[in-house]
Chain A
């Protein structure tokens, strides 16, 4: 009787002091993605990237003999659903951490809740600077934020390309407005301001009437803060109207689909990038990409060219797993935070140059620029930072 009592107390103590979502044989991790609805095209791809990496880890023995179990909640990219789903993941499914949530508004909607409840939130499918600034103990952004990107775009346009008459076409939402503000701030450092600012609705299907205004100003460089389809619409419209200036656009567009959709119109446009490109002059990146492809195709053998969203999901999983490894076998949320804060220009397979530290949450502080040349992305700069 006494033995049973002691064992019972030990079991209760074990559960009382063990970390949520951490079991002897598995770690339960949550994510929120648009698995259905109109944005499933993004969410399903990002989920595949995460699953591919976690499957590979699990097939190779897991992390300290623990398998990673990924629970993906479908929020349809609707922030009101995100809040409900994330609370369910944390309070009912008792996940250890949230990894790779998709969508700016959803991520921002749950950011404070997760931070206040001490749930690590690693990698967000969003470039909002609000995730990184001010730093939040449990929130670890990886993707470059639009403020950093906007300032780097301006630096590249003015210092490298020597442009001075810059137009900014931006989605009239948080992404576009943050980008515009960043460009304006950096231009002010050069004693300049945008020659033209045009907000637009990304759902609109025709930008002809707005292109007339661009033509009227005749800028020598145009920055487009848009996502794939509206960016392609803009590029085609501007070129049809005879606007021949250089065009720079943002990293969500660094996907092969933009070349497929825009065709010859894409020639010469500059795009920011933060994921290394496997080009002939970088055999190390080619090797990394082949390794990624091998891991990815173990789960999805029919996919020859994974999308950039799948790449994002892969990086989310890769960064998180490195954090788990560094946290050691006695896994707690505090140990994970500490281990993630030890990242110092860390390079994984596709994750490159990731740094965090106490009170430092901007995971990426460097980006480079690509140009579309003969239907291919070609890097035209090394990694740039605001300091250099």
Chain B
């Protein structure tokens, strides 16, 4: 039973990890907590739905939507946030909240008020494993998400360790001014991170759409869990976001099974507070030391 819950928790946690990664990507470099993250992803899920409604397959729709999402992220960063970057972080937060509300209203105006269905990328009967520990069922799409998480984790590692962009990301997130003096353009790094982050959000929205169904609220739950995972793992650590998401998925399942299912969500919120109190930098984050 415990093994069941751990395995199933990892499947759920994969979604949390991907969301946390997207949030952390944007926060790590630009310092902006993007409250519109979930709704930007939701908007792109509606766009993907439009492509499937036109007769394209879900995989093709996803492939088209990912670069569109990146462009969307670029546009939001370049034209709404960067012009006010010199004002304050609070003003940028307010802009993200504004985008959140605009998108929420916009989708019902464009796509109507009915829930939309979105097909799974991989169809077929789920994998069923039964043994002494009980039965575990894997939907093919869940396995795909877990594999995607592994691939993205490896790609991020390679990007950060072995590319100029990776070095620029690290430099800008450490010290924006010093990076600029070294010839790095922080603006370009911001754009790239918003593009990656938004595309990642769109990926999760499209992959989860067969479960959540496309509606204005489809990403609310994932955004909360993604924030929690990011806090748990460390808001400035890619590895932390991945580990935080998987850990949260497993912990929630264990709490739901052995303590109370009603307390699962409450537990997530308590977890944020506890982690912030005991280890503000998260499980894998590093504490910043500043000179006085």
Contact = CB atoms under 8 A, between A and B. Distances in A.
A41 interface: yes
Interface stretch (B64-72, B171-179, B260-268, B279-287): B260-268
Interface stretch (A89-97, A133-141, A206-214, A271-279): A206-214
Given A209-B5, A240-B126, A229 B212 contact: yes
Contacts of A257: 114-115
A229 B115 CA distance: 9
A286 to B, nearest CB: 23
Interface in B206-263: 208, 211-213, 215-217, 220-222, 253, 256-257, 261-262
A204 interface: yes
B4 A38 contact: no
Given A38-B220, A209-B5, A242-B128, A228 B115 contact: yes
Interface in B98-148: 104-105, 108, 113-115, 117, 126, 128, 134-135, 137, 139
B275 interface: no
A261 interface: yes
A215 B8 CA distance: 15
Interface residues of A, number: 38
Which one of A211, A212, A261 has the highest number of Cβ atoms from chain B below 10 Å of its Cβ? A212
Contact of A205 (B104, B117, B211): B211
B201 to A, nearest CB: 15
Contacts of A318: none
B113 A209 contact: no
Nearest to B9: A209
Given A36-B105, A38-B217, A40-B113, A208 B262 contact: no
Contacts of A215: 135
A215 B105 CA distance: 41
Nearest to A45: B113
Given A36-B105, A203-B217, A209-B256, 13 more contacts: A37-B216, A39-B217, A40-B104, A41-B114, A198-B261, A201-B261, A205-B208, A206-B12, A206-B211, A209-B5, A241-B137, A257-B115, A307-B113
A248 to B, nearest CB: 21
The SS class assigned to the A binding surface is helix
- Contact residue range for chain B? 35 or more
Nearest to B113: A41
Contact of A201 (B9, B114, B211, B264): B264
Contacts of A240: 126, 137, 139
Nearest to A40: B108
A186 B52 CA distance: 46
B116 to A, nearest CB: 9
A210 B212 contact: no
Given A205-B208, A209-B4, A240-B137, A41 B261 contact: no
A145 to B, nearest CB: 23
B115 A212 contact: no
Contact of B253 (A36, A199, A209, A232): A209
Contact of B11 (A37, A40, A41, A208): A208
Nearest to A172: B262
Interface string A235-274: 0000011100000000000000100110100000000000
